[in-house]
Structure 1
Amino acid sequence: MSFGFSMSGLALFAEFFHFLRPWLLLLLPAVAGLWWLVRWRGAGRELPEAAIAPHLRAALTLGRSDRRRLRPVDGVALGLVLAVLGAAGPTWSRVPDPFVAQAAPMVIALRVAPSMAGEDVAPSRLERAKQKIRDLIELRAGARTALVAYAGSAHSVVPMTGDAQVVQPYLEGLAPDVMPREGNDALAALALAQGMLARESAPGGVLLVTDSVSGADVAGLDAAAGSLAVLAVLPPGTGDAGLDALTLPVVALTPDGADVAALDRRLNAAFRRALAEDGDQPWDDRGWLLAWPAALLTLIWFRRGWTMRWAAGLALGLLSLPGGARAEGMADWFLTPDQQGRIAYERKHYPEAAEHFTDPMWQGMALMRAGRYEEAAQVFARLETAEAAFALGLASIRNHAYRDGVRAYETALARDPDFPDAAANLALARRIVDYVETAQEQSDIGEQQDMGADDVTLDNEENRGQETEVQGEAGDEPMLTAEQWINTVDTDAGDFLRQRFAVEAAQAQ
């Protein structure tokens, strides 16, 4: 799936902006007429010029010099206009679905070549590229991301995942010496990335992070401009013939986060469009945004001579309309905890959102987005809805509590047999549990005693396989615990990637 990075947020706003209650806009002509009557009725008749001297005429005429000044009715009219517009329910986006990531799936294709080891960008081009990738993944918290490395050949490093912790060690292990062949085959990386995106259910994009592009690849990359953006890892004032020849957006490296923010906006433009076209979610009423300037305008009504109680009553009446221009239900001009939580959630400040939410469902989703799966599971477990049981299953699986996940999905189906995706997730969770227990059943503790386990116990709820508890013999050398033994295993991601890439390159040949 592809989309255009050229679609700006302003274009999306213009395309989807509408009013949920447009019939309330009929009040605008009434407000305009009322303003005109009050504003100009005090003009009065002007004295004949021949009847009185000009200086006396100017001194005896009231209201003439006030016509161009700001009068109470002007502020009242503006406040009423804002109140009417807010009550009409302006909107341009859907209410976010807590079960769906609010960012587009993305494949990051990173060039890993000797030129990327250059130190003209501190600490090096490659390390700066990794920093930018980490910043982008953090900004897109919870979004599905995959990583591809390329030089003379392209290789999948990490498949699509919503867990940023999975990407981190493999990203750190990338270095020029892990690549089987030197070169700059950006088209191979693009083809591999597009294959990953084709398996996603939502529109996504490819981010090419490189310091150069081969002239032979320019045409192919431009042909994918609808789904491709480029981050040029070059020092300021430095160019590359291939990068300069591209017509698709190329974002220059910046010392702050401006480049990352620009890439995120371009990546999510069409994704937000797809979400806006999704009719399953209600439109997000943004009328409350207009309540704030309307409220500020009422402050001038406390000035001496500016009080207009009838206008204040009318404005408050508009603001109190059901679903109207209130700060999502606020009556005293202050946001409720749930409203503050929603704002933090939409800004991807998930830990802060979890602290604000009093709605347990939203609080649990915020905790899960923040990676606090155990706490999220505790919140969902207190609710008795199919939706909460489904969310409990998600939190349990992500917390590696697979049996709890199975039970949660079973509960969701018991509460609602037709709950979307519950049956599929239950089958997947059962396969995971069966795989874990089968692996344990096939293990022979007698053959493992020489590994030196010291009081190791594994979960075996169905008693499949032998009990996994082993005691060291007296007089032997101090035996390693499971954690200590695992820490002695060489887990260098660079060595693993070097071997895997070499095998893939040989198979391709």
Structure 2
Amino acid sequence: MGFEWEEIRRRGVDIVVALDVSDSMLVGDTEAGGSLSRLERAKREISDLLALLEGDRIGLVAFAGTAFLECPLTLDYGAAEIFLDSLEPDLIPVKGTALAQAIRTSVEAFEESSSTSKAIVLMTDGEDHLGQAVAAAEEAAAAGIRIFTIGIGREEGSPIPDPGGGFRRDARGEIILSRLDEPTLQRIALATGGRYVRSVTGDVDLEQVYSLGIKATMQDQDLGTTRQRRWKERFQWLVGAAIVLLLVEASIAERRSLNRAPHLAEEIGS
């Protein structure tokens, strides 16, 4: 066995996934009985998305009360999976859900991109505590970026787990409910020509967004080239060499036999 380097040309779309890691994403209301938190469900869907990508570059932004680029645009889906696994609420100490900051940080992630096909996938429970999310979406639209929003959770709301036990309460001692704000997410998607999808049990939400939204409406662009090993069977070289050696050996043996024949004749004659 051996290998040779093969140059692979990549064509696709630049995609930044902005994932809400605020405390409200700890609410367990995405499965019957609350067996999965909103954050766990979102991470599973992003992992499924990585398996669907076809030459597209992917980046990851985590946000709560502020936002950070965790994984720059890359074709290395394995590396993106590693960054995804590390996204937890304690990653960002600033509490809250700053949707506008998440959108602007995602837009900045495209600064090194020459592609004209750019998409942001915003996954959140939609509680925009600081406002300005729609204004940030309009800025993204002006830069030629579409935003596809995925709402996770329930409109009726669910209590937020407290690390010390029980549920979080406000200053009056009442349990704080985290509700899905679908109208905000719908306006964000509408402002950029994107699409809003509600994440519910059993749906393949990101597959719909990727296949029917991003890939169906955006043109693939050249995203550079990568090199990969191409393994080749090389046993035939060994077989060929062995055959040559056998032929050479046979030829030498034949010559020795011919050289010895006259001497044998003389010995017999004497």
TM over 0.5: yes
The aligned counterpart of 1:263 is 209
In structure 1, distance between residues paired with 2:10 and 2:203: 22
Q: How does 1:285-434 map to 2 (within 5 A)?
A: 373-374=228-229, 376=230, 378-379=231-232
CA distance in 2, matches of 1:110, 1:166: 17
Distance 1:121 1:257 in 2: 11
Structure with the larger helix share: 1
- One-letter identity of the residue aligned with 1:149: A
TM-aligned CA deviation for residue 261 of structure 1? 2.3
Distance 2:90 2:73 in 1: 25
Amino acid across the alignment from 1:115: S
Q: Secondary structure at the match of 2:39?
A: helix
| DSSP 3-state at the match of 2:109 | helix
Q: Secondary structure at the match of 1:272?
A: coil
Paired position in structure 2 for 1:219: 135
Tell me the equivalent position of 2:95. Answer: 182
Which of 219, 223, 247 is matched with 1:272 structurally? 219
- The aligned counterpart of 1:150 is 63
Please give the alpha-carbon distance, in whole angstroms, between the structure 2 residues aligned to 1:139 and 1:164: 10
**Structure 1 residues 141, 208: CA separation in 2 closer, same or farther (over 3 Å shift)?**
same
2:199 is equivalent to residue 253 of structure 1: yes
Change (3 A) 1:273 1:147: closer
The offset of 1:209, in angstroms, is 0.8
From 49, 56, 59, the counterpart of 1:136 = 49
Question: Where in structure 1 do 4 or more consecutive aligned residues deviate above 6 Å?
Answer: none
Measured against aligned partners, the alpha-carbon deviations of 1:269-289 in whole angstroms (never above 9, x if no partner) come to: 4542668xxxxxxxxxxxxxx
SS at match of 1:108: strand
Superposed CA deviations along residues 19-48 of structure 1, whole A, max 9, x for unmatched, are xxxxxxxxxxxxxxxxxxxxxxxxxxxxxx
Task: Determine which of 92, 99, 105 is the counterpart of 2:8.
Answer: 99
Could you tell me how far 1:199 is from its partner in structure 2?
1.2
Matched, 1:172 2:85: yes
Q: 1:120, 1:220 → 2: CA distance?
A: 29
TM-score, scaled to structure 2: 0.60
Shift in alpha-carbon separation, 1:223–1:159, aligned structure 2, 3 A: closer
Instruction: Letter of the 1:206 partner, please give it.
Output: I
Amino acid at match of 1:210: T
Alpha-carbon spacing, 1:103–1:119, altered in 2? closer, same or farther (3 Å): same
Deviation of 1:173 after TM superposition, in Å, equals 1.5
Residue 243 in structure 1 maps to residue 182 in structure 2:
no
Unmatched runs of 5 consecutive residues or more in structure 2: 1-6, 158-179, 235-270
Q: Does residue 1:119 correspond to 2:28, yes or no?
A: yes
Question: What is the TM-score of this pair, normalised by structure 1?
Answer: 0.34
Aligned residues: 188
Partner of 1:233: 152
Amino acid across the alignment from 2:201:
P
By how many angstroms is 1:100 displaced? Answer: 3.4
Give the 3 Å change call, closer, same or farther, for CA 235–271 of structure 1 in structure 2. same
SS at match of 1:160: strand
Residues in 1 aligned to 2:233 and 2:112: alpha-carbon distance in whole angstroms: 30
Structure whose residues are more often strand by fraction: 2
In the alignment, the residues of structure 2 paired with residue 235 and residue 101 of structure 1 have an alpha-carbon distance, to the nearest angstrom, of 39
| 1:205 and 2:138 correspond | no
Partner-residue secondary structure (3-state), 1:231:
strand
Pair 126,232 (structure 1): closer, same or farther in 2 beyond 3 Å? same
Q: What is the deviation of 1:236?
A: 7.7
Contact 1:107–1:147 under 8 Å retained in 2: yes
Following the alignment from structure 1 to structure 2, what is the Cα–Cα distance between the partners of residues 221 and 380? Answer: 53
**Does the aligned pair in 2 maintain the 1:147–1:158 contact within 8 Å?**
yes
Task: Specify which structure has the bigger relative contact order, considering alpha-carbon pairs within 8 angstroms and separated by 6 or more residues.
Answer: 2
Partners of 2:125 and 2:71 in 1: CA distance: 22
Contact kept in structure 1, 2:103 and 2:133, CA below 8 Å? no
Match of 1:444 in 2: none
Q: Is the 8 A contact 1:210 1:233 kept in 2?
A: yes
5+ residue gaps, structure 1: 1-97, 276-364, 382-509
- Percent identity at matched positions? 28
Q: By how many angstroms is 1:174 displaced?
A: 1.3
Q: What's the CA shift string for 1:354-401, capped at 9, x where partnerless?
A: xxxxxxxxxxx9xx99xxx54x2x3499xxxxxxxxxxxxxxxxxxxx
* Offset of residue 247 of structure 1: 5.3
